[in-house]
Structure 1
Amino acid sequence: MKKAILTGLLAVSLGSALAVVPNNTHVIMQSADIVSLDPTMIYDTSSGALGENIYETLVKYKGKSVSELEPMLATEWKVSPDGKVYTFTLRKGVKFHSGNEMTCADAEYSLRRNLVVNNSDSGNWFLSEALLGTPSNANDDNNITWAKIAKAVACNNQGQLVLTLPAPDPAMLVKLAFIGQAIVDKKWAISLGEWDGTEKTWKEWVGKDLTDSALSNKPSGTGAYQLVRKDASTYVFKAFDNYWGGKPKIENVILQIVKEQAARLEALKKGDADIVETGPRPVLAQLQGAPGLKVYDGIPNNTATAIFMQENIKDPAVLGSGKLDGNGIPANFFSDVNLRKAFAYSFDYDRYIKEVLQGKGTKRTMLLPDSFFGYDPNVKQYSYDPQLATAFFKKAWGGQVWQNGFVLKASYRAGSVAAQTAMEILKANVEKLNPKFKVELQPKQWSEFLKNAQQGKEPMIIVGWAPDYADPDNFLYTFYSSNGYYYPRSGYKDSIMDSLLEQARKTTDRAKRKALYSQVGNRAYETAPYINVPAGVGFVVYRDNIKGLEENYNIMLSGGYYWKDISK
């Protein structure tokens, strides 16, 4: 995108063409598109970064902490001695963008709506687990009734929100800090044609896809910023005059989706953007020392990234011949553990650390941040070894893979240089082992990429996981359990692994839980369901006239910071 286009957009949005971003405006550029602005469907970091500024949750992480919570829309809460009942006192005088006043009815409606919808594209499974004892919705679990939902989430006579759990869940509060559990405007939602909140109609909304809902297109939250308008590439926000926390210092925020990395970097250097998605660490060489820029480096990495090998591919269109004849692959291609190990030994982890992470990276033993409880550095891990890769390729499918070859279609998010580089490293290493091996790389838009993967249609993808809440179960169950969120994307099912994970999430003994997670890590090494991509050290590059970003940066936020906390 050229500067002329950007200034034109600023002119349309703010009323005047400007050479650089004015002090009352914050311009952000990224490559990923926005999936949804309906909280019940926000389950990717790109959408979450916007949602965090439109909507608010009952509680939030305090400052830079990833474990300590503080009030947001709830002013205080109490937990019963048995850990099953949570009672929240709600903040008074809070207005939605529509002008409606927030009451307990809105909080009740929001969480009930999440339990009702709870489809596979949303993050409501862990709320349902806590409040209903199952990650499923009513279409998949006949034990879920309206009576159970109504009992789990209800307002008492004092106007307090009461959550009643079937069993204690020590992660309940941090689950409520996730943006998907934000409080929406009940009256506004119903006026748009969303669920009316009643028992009479709830079954009609179970599992419904609300990605492009009316609420997504016309959101009304309690957050510091409200959406003015949006199109395919631009989202324009303005500060909410009646925000309960006081009007923010930044008046306007513009998010622009700019696919070309070079265009984003140029805009940042010229001052046409305040902060951009830079891409991987090698980009720093182009930005360090540039006038007007500041680098915030050394940000802890709380994500886990993996290359998925789908064991039950559900799209004949990507299978080619669908056979082990050198012209495609069968749907269960990756169900052979020898093949998965062959690919794991084909990835050059050290090269990725050197080229993509500029030497500032760590190989992880398991798909869990090494700063989290439960991480075991002593678990065995794979390394780049062409000889072992060859040996396992020759074992795979009784020798048919080595003898006949294959054509594999692998995908990555369009615009992600790090993901593209990782897949190119794997492709090159696999193809040079045997001339009959072919790996075809396909960049895809974020929304298409997520949808196809969730439906099990992608043979191989690279994707990460940002925590919903700070607990090892949120990573390890997500990746490795056949009941986990990523199961449809991997098709990985192992009875031993499932048993270990179920035990770990139920025990309250910290030492026993830690030992179980070590066993999870070792089982993951033995079965090789994923290729663990090394984790880098985070950094952000932004214009040096931005104040408050580093002081308020929290790695548990999708966007890293609230717009209301910065100024110029």
Structure 2
Amino acid sequence: MKKLGLITSLLLMGGVAFAATPKDTLVIQESADIPTMDPGVTYDTASGQFTENIYETLWTYKGASLREFQPLLATAIPSYTNGGKTLTVKLRQGVKFHSGNSFTCTDAEYSFRRNLVTNSGESGNWFLSDSLLGTPSNANDDKSVTWAKIAAAVKCSNPSTLVFTLPKPDPAFLAKLAFTGQSIVDMKWAIQQGEWNGTEATWQQWVGKDLTGGGLDKKPSGTGAYQMVSRDANAILLKAFAGYWGKKPSITNIVWQKVPEQAARYQSFLRGDADIIETGPRANVQEQLVGKPGVKFIDNLPNTTSTAFFMNEKISDPAALGSGKLDGKGIPANFFSDVNVRRAFSYSFDYATYIKDVQQGKGMQRTMLLPDTFPGYTGKVKKYSFDPKQATAYFKRAFSGNLWKNGFVLNMDYRAGASASQTAAELLKKNIESLNPKFRVNITAKQWSQMLTDSKNGKEPSVILAWAPDYADPDNFLYTFYSSNGYYYPRNNWKDASVDKWLDQARVTLDPAARNKLYAQVAQRAYEQAPYILIPAGVNFTVVRDNLQGVSAGTYNPMRSDAVTGNLWKDLSKN
């Protein structure tokens, strides 16, 4: 207790570092704020690293696998019944919340109903609602959502058994329930903190309500291995939960500190005052950290992000179009609707140079906008390469030859401060303009928030955007990018009837082989139609202090919110 008191005092004084972190203490330094401690509104990795250690889901990913699960608050991984529409979960007994309350089926029932009620675009509950209610929207936006539907979708059949009832099969549902936002909260404690009371009489008052800053954000109570001791804007302290049902963690104290300056984080890390820090890009890390005493560099880790140039087929901002015509002074709003334009652009990007210069040779071209470690990925589909002759041929075919004859001016934005995006845009600009003196690509840095808003409203002709997974299932990527009902559709406005059909069919197909075949068809069609320029995926890496055990390529799971260790903190130790 004396050591714990010392650490708490340092935090309250705003102390950033103390000499050589103790063996029972993990010190983390990052630049970002922690938006919430409430899993019901957790939809960012900064918050997720806390919710996944304070709370627990029914199951989680097994080791480094993205395809296997291991039970947490469930006793086993259940199988679907009723044609894939029913999932019956047996719950662990003898589990305590940090408040001292016993975990019961009522807590699980309340947690999922609460997520369905408060569901908003600011949380990951849209995909839970999509599975259980047949719509990603809440009751304010979709009147088909009723209390009767919510109550029937998830309920306790007895004190130790939770039953999910889906309107149609969803092969991604198991993975969705492993997302930290679907953690089980302490119902009695939540109500005491002023949260929803779980009744039909009050549910409509909580529809779509933002839980950020609410009762469970301020005072969380989960079943996880760590509980919160103190929190302010610059520091958070957790301690191991003495009543934890599982194996006692080797690390007793978790100290998180907000340190905005990268140089300060690096200095603290090299002194041994921090065990884990937020770092910069690969080149920066290799120059300043790799090879230094006490530093462990782990390379060749999986990358579960997909990144692409978007080519908007229905540009809604006249100001971005110049003349709005193919007269050499602008582009029409449907510029990218011609497949020849999209193929020409795809052949104009220098993938190999991007891998060499931006990713220091550590990158790969994928065949589709799906991480190569995910189920459903196929390497058998062709990939575009930098080929000026092919690009020229397709540009000459576009718009019946008028594009090549008259030329065009394209205005393209990239995220301000994103050096990789800037380099990618510059490569594309250089190669396209070299083909024809009448071709011009203007690239401009734009603030991220404004670029997101404009792209959402279809105003951006072409931008670079990425997607990181909510759950380890191909649907989370392929539906997002390629479906006309997907999240990114308003930004690209590409639609293909066959792709829509295949993706909808895959969403209700439980047989993995049959699903994979459908996804391979999507990948092949996407290659032919070229709705995106696929930016090569970098190879991930991490750095930690060399006395931190449990972090390795064999244990690292990219689905963890703690992207540095790829582990739950309870599985780490120090020597």
Relative to the length of structure 2, the TM-score reads: 0.83
What corresponds to 1:354 in structure 2? 356
Q: Is the 8 A contact 1:225 1:237 kept in 2?
A: yes
| Within-5 A mapping of 1:294-309 | 294-309=296-311
Of the three residues 356, 366, 369, the one matched with 1:367 is 369
What corresponds to 1:493 in structure 2? 495
What do the CA deviations read for 1:499-521 (whole angstroms, capped 9, x no partner)? Answer: 12112333345544333222211
Q: Is the 8 A contact 2:170 2:509 kept in 1?
A: no
| Within-5 A mapping of 1:510-525 | 510-525=512-527
Q: Is the 8 A contact 1:234 1:254 kept in 2?
A: yes
**Counterpart code for 2:153:** A
Q: Is the 8 A contact 2:425 2:443 kept in 1?
A: no
What corresponds to 1:225 in structure 2? 226
What corresponds to 1:439 in structure 2? 443
| Within-5 A mapping of 1:133-144 | 133-144=134-145
**Counterpart code for 1:52:** E
| Within-5 A mapping of 1:438-517 | 438-442=442-446, 444=448, 460-517=462-519
Between the aligned partners of 1:26 and 1:179, the Cα distance in structure 2 is 21
Give the C-alpha shift of residue 171 in structure 1. Answer: 3.4
The gaps in structure 1 that reach 5 residues or longer are 1-6
Between the aligned partners of 2:487 and 2:472, the Cα distance in structure 1 is 16
Between the aligned partners of 1:10 and 1:302, the Cα distance in structure 2 is 37
What corresponds to 2:18 in structure 1? 18
Give the C-alpha shift of residue 192 in structure 1. Answer: 3.9
Of the three residues 547, 551, 554, the one matched with 2:557 is 554
Give the C-alpha shift of residue 149 in structure 1. Answer: 1.2
Q: Is the 8 A contact 1:309 1:459 kept in 2?
A: yes
Relative to the length of structure 1, the TM-score reads: 0.84
What do the CA deviations read for 1:184-224 (whole angstroms, capped 9, x no partner)? Answer: 22233334443332223333433444455553444332222
Give the C-alpha shift of residue 142 in structure 1. Answer: 3.4
Give the C-alpha shift of residue 476 in structure 1. Answer: 1.2
What corresponds to 1:275 in structure 2? 276
What corresponds to 2:3 in structure 1? none
Pair 1:38–1:392, CA change in 2 (3 A): farther
What corresponds to 2:75 in structure 1? 75
What corresponds to 2:409 in structure 1? 405
Between the aligned partners of 1:123 and 1:401, the Cα distance in structure 2 is 48
What do the CA deviations read for 1:161-202 (whole angstroms, capped 9, x no partner)? Answer: 111223333433232111121112223333444333222333
**Counterpart code for 2:58:** L
- More displaced 10-residue stretch of structure 1: 449-458 or 121-130: 449-458
**Counterpart code for 1:380:** K
What do the CA deviations read for 1:295-320 (whole angstroms, capped 9, x no partner)? Answer: 2222233332223345556788x849
Between the aligned partners of 2:345 and 2:231, the Cα distance in structure 1 is 42
Pair 1:292–1:419, CA change in 2 (3 A): farther
Q: Is the 8 A contact 2:88 2:163 kept in 1?
A: yes
**Counterpart code for 2:291:** G
What corresponds to 1:54 in structure 2? 54
| Within-5 A mapping of 1:188-267 | 188-211=189-212, 213-230=214-231, 234-245=235-246, 247-258=248-259, 261-267=262-268
What do the CA deviations read for 1:35-85 (whole angstroms, capped 9, x no partner)? Answer: 544323323333322321122101112223322222211224654643433
Between the aligned partners of 2:369 and 2:78, the Cα distance in structure 1 is 34
What corresponds to 1:86 in structure 2? 87
**Counterpart code for 1:248:** P
| Within-5 A mapping of 1:318-397 | 319=320, 323=324, 334-335=336-337, 337-386=339-388, 388-389=390-391
Give the C-alpha shift of residue 530 in structure 1. Answer: 2.2
Pair 1:555–1:31, CA change in 2 (3 A): same
Give the C-alpha shift of residue 154 in structure 1. Answer: 0.6
Pair 1:250–1:294, CA change in 2 (3 A): same
What corresponds to 2:537 in structure 1? 535
Between the aligned partners of 1:218 and 1:386, the Cα distance in structure 2 is 59
Q: Is the 8 A contact 1:405 1:436 kept in 2?
A: yes
What do the CA deviations read for 1:354-380 (whole angstroms, capped 9, x no partner)? Answer: 123322321001011223333232323
- More displaced 10-residue stretch of structure 1: 35-44 or 288-297: 35-44
| % identical equivalent positions | 57
